[in-house]
Chain A
């Protein structure tokens, strides 16, 4: 780490707004040559927006960017390369059946004259990079046959092929296990040793503390901390991320009955969950908190019959429960409001009515498979009134509705039939504040009626505001701990979550 005080990147007073949200508010920071900065913050703090501005994907509303003391305008993603910026994004962008060399040079293959593609030159360069990282990679086999961590390394090599000044890594370890991340880590250090400055965005505080020289904390679009690693501690950083103002919930705690609705014992999957054990009682709201890739969504997928490769025992209302597909899960009384509303929750082009009908068709069937549309429409409109959904006509397509109203439609699908256990996965992603409150209200109403509720969320404020009976924190596939209602606060959750 040859650090000196030469400033190679400065972002000055950057602001960026999206309709209804101020994603970045007057954020400034500097990056010195050879430095590693850790950028942390809760979901929605503005980290991704900042990265996307650097990558030329978003343009800031205000502010300036300087590289090597001269102002630059990063208007398009393909322009940033010439300033020595390179990115490793959250998703693995590889072509599975190309080999390492082709993937490393994807889209900018080196050519000889007449556009003949110069395989030897590229291979030589990739091998040199590998050697400098002390890595041995088989460059001849398709990349899909390499381990995930090696695939990520190829992604980093790709960013490194052009010797960038500044490498930005956005949650590049989210999809990796701890050991795999370790491996990736060493490579990042080596890159840094060769003089590249790194902006490292991560949820994993221990990584940040191991790797970075300086830590910047964003909260609600503002920079709230910027200091050397030696001067702070993980607990302090968590406090900065959460902020001073303690969120208090307005909801009174839901009354729990003795009857256990769901019992999960020793739930394990081949590459994620390890011995997850918990239960949900009648009337209980169980919060499940975990970072992306922690295994929180896998739990929902297993309970809803989407993932069937697992070990462990599930019991629903005292009976063994082994859903093979959503259809059997639904008929046994499990309902899911899925994580991705657009992809998994709704048929966007279809009408409100058609979407509501999806899981309820068999309850409105007459002879010859006839669907009693009139009767269903009557009931559907009643439900829409009850949930105060704002819409023009019940036959309008759902894509015309706001996020909050769309989410109410997804929920209504299930409210029109009988269920025992209702799972919400990220219930208010992309939902405005007003509709959020209404949804939390609905969740409490359903619990009061004696249903079991699981709310999975990566939004810490949401977790506190819903005021669940208990919160289960998942960290890297294991249950990091439970917090009883009176213990729930943001710091305790985050400390469990980061293993602090």
Chain B
């Protein structure tokens, strides 16, 4: 019983939250419509959290996510406002985010700088660039209607942003658990020295992971702008901590003590459902933060007790 709780405690917590909200507001909360809603609400968080999962897999940190989300969103909007076609704007914005991930990777893996401080610095730098580019204002007029479909429209009842999230989840699940790149990433995170002594190109693996993570954050930024119909230079601020929270909660599930995509998804669901349910119940926003904080701490304790 105790073992079962340790192994599936986080899943139980998720069901507990669902049961709790259902019993309180059955007719509003426990509906297919609301669940579809929740997937849309967490889609952007989940995209960033997938990136966080990769980074945790190699036992590093990337604190520049928030800045990449903001930059991706602002840059795509700025390009479109200046008359560029949406698809080309998206492509360019994502390319720059990719380049930025490459910079992070080169600094951390190539020069062996500590990732925590390095990405804090590159994130600050990118934040400055975003402000400079947007002149510190919100970009909202001139974003083409066509672009807004990504964040606001649905296909056969399912929001496009949710679909993008699911595709990304499946892709990363395949990559991390079925391919040799995934294996080497876990090996690098498990014991970098042993991986190196086994002939694995540790630097290369790390750089690839930083690039993938940055791309996910960039895409999250693009979807965010589309969803809001506007781009704000600090729009990504809230996603950094929440994405790591989701990924950390995820380490308690499935792959013991290690970050994994489905675990992260459960983590994002917990955070998302909590926010959704508490909003339905009209609970003030600060209480949501208190709950989220408590859940993350519980998850960490659970993870520790398993070791």
The interface of chain A, by Cβ under 8 A from chain B, is: 304, 306, 325-327, 329-331, 336, 338, 343-350, 354, 357-359, 361-362, 364-365, 368-371, 373, 413
- B201 partner residues in chain A, CB cutoff 8 A: 325, 327
Chain B interface, number of residues (Cβ within 8 angstroms): 23
- B193 partner residues in chain A, CB cutoff 8 A: 343-344
A343 to B186, CA, bound (A): 16
Asked whether A359 lies within 8 Å of B198 as measured between CB atoms, the reply is: yes
With A346-B191, A349-B190, A371-B178 already in contact, the answer to whether A354 and B197 are too (CB < 8 A) is no
Within 8 A of A (CB), among B162-209: 174-175, 178-184, 186-187, 190-191, 193-201
Report if B257 contacts A (CB, 8 A): yes
With A354-B186, A369-B180, A370-B179 already in contact, the answer to whether A347 and B191 are too (CB < 8 A) is yes
With A344-B194, A346-B194, A347-B194 already in contact, the answer to whether A358 and B187 are too (CB < 8 A) is yes
Closest chain A residue to B181, Cβ basis: A369
- A361 partner residues in chain B, CB cutoff 8 A: 180, 183-184
Asked whether B191 lies within 8 Å of A326 as measured between CB atoms, the reply is: no
With A347-B191, A370-B178 already in contact, the answer to whether A354 and B198 are too (CB < 8 A) is no
B194 partner, pick from A345, A364, A365, beta carbons under 8 A = A345
The interface of chain B, by Cβ under 8 A from chain A, is: 174-175, 178-184, 186-187, 190-191, 193-201, 257
A112 to B180, CA, bound (A): 61
A371 partner, pick from B180, B198, B257, beta carbons under 8 A = B180
Asked whether B190 lies within 8 Å of A347 as measured between CB atoms, the reply is: yes
Closest Cβ–Cβ distance, residue A225 to chain B (whole Å): 40
Closest chain A residue to B257, Cβ basis: A349
Sampled A-B contacts (5; CB under 8 Å): A326-B196, A326-B199, A344-B194, A369-B180, A373-B178
- A359 partner residues in chain B, CB cutoff 8 A: 198-200
Asked whether A348 lies within 8 Å of B191 as measured between CB atoms, the reply is: yes
Closest Cβ–Cβ distance, residue B305 to chain A (whole Å): 16
Given contacts A326-B200, A343-B193, 15 further A-B contacts (CB under 8 A): A306-B196, A325-B196, A326-B196, A344-B194, A345-B197, A347-B190, A347-B194, A350-B191, A357-B183, A358-B183, A358-B195, A358-B200, A359-B198, A369-B179, A371-B179
- A329 partner residues in chain B, CB cutoff 8 A: 199
A-B contact count (CB 8 A): 78
Asked whether A350 lies within 8 Å of B186 as measured between CB atoms, the reply is: yes
- A368 partner residues in chain B, CB cutoff 8 A: 174, 179
Asked whether B180 lies within 8 Å of A365 as measured between CB atoms, the reply is: yes
- A357 partner residues in chain B, CB cutoff 8 A: 183
A327 to B201, CA, bound (A): 6
With A327-B199, A370-B178 already in contact, the answer to whether A354 and B183 are too (CB < 8 A) is yes
Closest Cβ–Cβ distance, residue A409 to chain B (whole Å): 11
Asked whether B181 lies within 8 Å of A354 as measured between CB atoms, the reply is: no
- B178 partner residues in chain A, CB cutoff 8 A: 370-371, 373
Closest Cβ–Cβ distance, residue B117 to chain A (whole Å): 17
A293 to B186, CA, bound (A): 33
B197 partner, pick from A336, A350, A373, beta carbons under 8 A = A336
Task: List the 8 shortest-distance A-B pairs measured between CB atoms, nearest first.
Answer: A330-B199, A369-B179, A358-B198, A347-B190, A361-B180, A347-B191, A359-B198, A344-B197
Closest Cβ–Cβ distance, residue A344 to chain B (whole Å): 5
- A364 partner residues in chain B, CB cutoff 8 A: 180
- A343 partner residues in chain B, CB cutoff 8 A: 191, 193-194
Closest chain B residue to A417, Cβ basis: B199
- A354 partner residues in chain B, CB cutoff 8 A: 183, 186-187, 190
Closest chain A residue to B199, Cβ basis: A330
- B194 partner residues in chain A, CB cutoff 8 A: 343-347, 358
Closest chain A residue to B179, Cβ basis: A369
Max count, chain A CB within 10 A of own CB: residue among B174, B179, B201, B257: B179
B195 partner, pick from A347, A348, A362, beta carbons under 8 A = A347
Closest chain B residue to A334, Cβ basis: B199
Max count, chain A CB within 10 A of own CB: residue among B178, B181, B186, B194: B194
- A373 partner residues in chain B, CB cutoff 8 A: 178
Closest Cβ–Cβ distance, residue B68 to chain A (whole Å): 25
A413 to B201, CA, bound (A): 16
Closest chain B residue to A358, Cβ basis: B198
A350 partner, pick from B181, B190, B200, beta carbons under 8 A = B190
A458 to B175, CA, bound (A): 44
- B183 partner residues in chain A, CB cutoff 8 A: 354, 357-358, 361, 371
A304 to B174, CA, bound (A): 33
- B186 partner residues in chain A, CB cutoff 8 A: 350, 354
Closest Cβ–Cβ distance, residue B183 to chain A (whole Å): 6
Asked whether B191 lies within 8 Å of A362 as measured between CB atoms, the reply is: no
- B175 partner residues in chain A, CB cutoff 8 A: 369
- B179 partner residues in chain A, CB cutoff 8 A: 368-371
A336 to B174, CA, bound (A): 32
A449 to B180, CA, bound (A): 30
- A338 partner residues in chain B, CB cutoff 8 A: 197
Closest chain A residue to B195, Cβ basis: A358
Closest Cβ–Cβ distance, residue A307 to chain B (whole Å): 13
Closest chain B residue to A356, Cβ basis: B198
- A370 partner residues in chain B, CB cutoff 8 A: 178-179
A338 to B179, CA, bound (A): 27
- A306 partner residues in chain B, CB cutoff 8 A: 196-197
Closest Cβ–Cβ distance, residue B89 to chain A (whole Å): 29
Closest Cβ–Cβ distance, residue B181 to chain A (whole Å): 6
Max count, chain B CB within 10 A of own CB: residue among A346, A359, A371: A371
Closest Cβ–Cβ distance, residue A383 to chain B (whole Å): 15
